[in-house]
Chain A
Amino acid sequence: MCTISRGKIGKVLKSTSNCIFENLAFEEHIFRTHSVEKSGEVLLMWSNRPTVVIGRHQNPWTEVNLPFCHENDIEIVRRHSGGGTVYHDLGNLNISLLTTHAQHCRPKNLKFISDALNQQFTINIVPTPRDDMELQPGNRKCSGTAARIARGQAYHHLTLLVDADLKILKNSLKSPYRDQIESNATRSVRAPAVGFLKQDDRNANVNEARTAIMEAYRKLFETCQIEEVDVHRKVHQNEEIAKILEELKSWKWIYGKSPKFKFLGENKTEIEVKDGLIIGTDQQFSTDL
């Protein structure tokens, strides 16, 4: 494990927004504007309404059951970091750790987080070599990790399933068209088993999980400020953040950013798609064609 020590100053930000777009925009904004070297590390936490989040270089038509999500009001979002696709709702806690590039160490983060949760609840969470976290026994994946590195800084963010409806989760992550798409987009690695904290400790809840992680994080620094942030207000008041939000919500980012791919339709028809548009046309690709 990396031996670079943490700095002396930390800050915890608890978002009051339940909107995935607002939270991701706020996270990206902090990443771009907060200097860890000058002002210390940051821990940002939030939960949001039902959403499926794909990684930066993925293809939503392959990774997401789009019709199911549309019918059930589940948002579809592409994030800036790499990695695979995750489902989350209010029973999930998102944790984002901002450090310098040199200090970025996912195993170290997962260790203090799993230790804190194992102390708080009667559970046994174990980080894996893939930087997932699994509930034992049973190798049940309850957390997925991704990261973004730029301008000498990095964030490591992860999901944590405290409570979840596994049927909805499984349905939203299984695209009916996944075998009909040929693409170099990064593919999610399907976990053989999925679990959530409440399965093993009926008292587990997002608020207590958040507090446990926050307290453990605090102990890592000499001084640590804790703030509740009205992210909804910040996003709409600050032009920079509003711009990031608009981009995250745009069709061009969510669908158009998919790496070029071939869709094999019925009757052996092949549709080539680049930037989300059918090649040679202005038409947005859709599986309803």
Chain B
Amino acid sequence: MSFLSRFIPTVTARTAIRFASSGRLYTKKHEWIVVDKTVGTVGITDFATEQLGDVVFIELPEAGANVEKGESTGAVESVKAASDIYAPVSGTVLEKNSKLEDEPGIINKSPLEKGWLYKLEISSNNQLKELLTEEQYNAFKAEEEAEH
């Protein structure tokens, strides 16, 4: 816990526990991010891919692109619908998962592992605090499903 506070000085002890235990953080738009020091790996959840259906094309941001939290960073196409995907936090894209460009179906088979979208250098750790933990995301999902 203490090593985390060294890198994220503004994080309280409770938040540090959050990161250490869940590893993965989520947004209400069904994106996930796993943070390793200052590098975040971003993807979309299995809930999202199930809603989408078979993905036929994934538009990813290029390395070097600056993304802003909440802004559109590309799109996923499935059954003729192009759905925007959003940046969970601000930062600079380091690498996109080019395998997805050749085989977009990977995202349906393995959205949380092999289907990662891109990695980025996070500009502000403060934004991580605004994301959902796994428990909070699961609760949010249950609410959404109840409305349908």
Contact = CB atoms under 8 A, between A and B. Distances in A.
Interface of A: 4, 55-57, 80-84, 102, 131, 145-151, 154, 184-186, 259-260
B10 to A, nearest CB: 30
Please indicate which of the listed interface residues B80, B82, B84, B104 has the most CB atoms of chain A within 10 Å of its own CB. B80
Contacts of A185: 57
Given A4-B148, A102-B148, A186 B57 contact: yes
B56 interface: yes
A151 B75 contact: no
24 contacts: A55-B80, A55-B82, A56-B59, A56-B75, A57-B59, A57-B75, A57-B77, A57-B82, A82-B56, A82-B77, A82-B78, A82-B81, A82-B82, A83-B80, A131-B80, A146-B82, A147-B80, A147-B82, A184-B104, A185-B57, A186-B56, A186-B77, A259-B57, A260-B101
A81 B80 contact: yes
A146 B79 CA distance: 8
Secondary structure class of chain A's binding surface, majority of residues: loop
A102 B144 CA distance: 10
Nearest to A132: B80
A102 B57 contact: no
Contacts of A80: 82
Interface in B51-89: 56-57, 59, 72, 75, 77-84
Given A82-B57, A149-B82, 7 more contacts: A4-B148, A55-B82, A57-B75, A81-B81, A82-B56, A149-B84, A150-B72
A151 B84 contact: yes
Chain B, interface residues (CB within 8 Å), range: 10 to 19
Contacts of B56: 57, 82, 186
B145 to A, nearest CB: 11
Contacts of A154: 81
A276 B111 CA distance: 30
Given A102-B148, A186-B56, A56 B82 contact: yes
B62 to A, nearest CB: 9
A57 B57 contact: yes
A149 B80 CA distance: 11
B59 A148 contact: no
Nearest to B28: A152
Nearest to B84: A150
Enumerate the 8 nearest inter-chain pairs by beta-carbon distance, A residue then B residue, closest first: A150-B84, A147-B81, A83-B80, A82-B82, A82-B77, A149-B83, A57-B57, A82-B80
A261 B99 CA distance: 15
Contact of A184 (B57, B75, B82, B148): B57
Contacts of A83: 80
B36 interface: no
Contacts of A260: 101
Contacts of A56: 59, 75, 77, 82
A106 to B, nearest CB: 9
B97 to A, nearest CB: 14
B80 A145 contact: yes
B147 interface: yes
Contacts of A186: 56-57, 77
Contacts of A151: 84
Contacts of B82: 55-57, 80-82, 146-149
A84 B82 CA distance: 12
Contact of A149 (B57, B81, B148): B81
Nearest to B101: A184
Contact of A259 (B72, B84, B101): B101
A55 B59 CA distance: 13
A285 B6 CA distance: 51
Please indicate which of the listed interface residues A102, A145, A184 has the most CB atoms of chain B within 10 Å of its own CB. A184
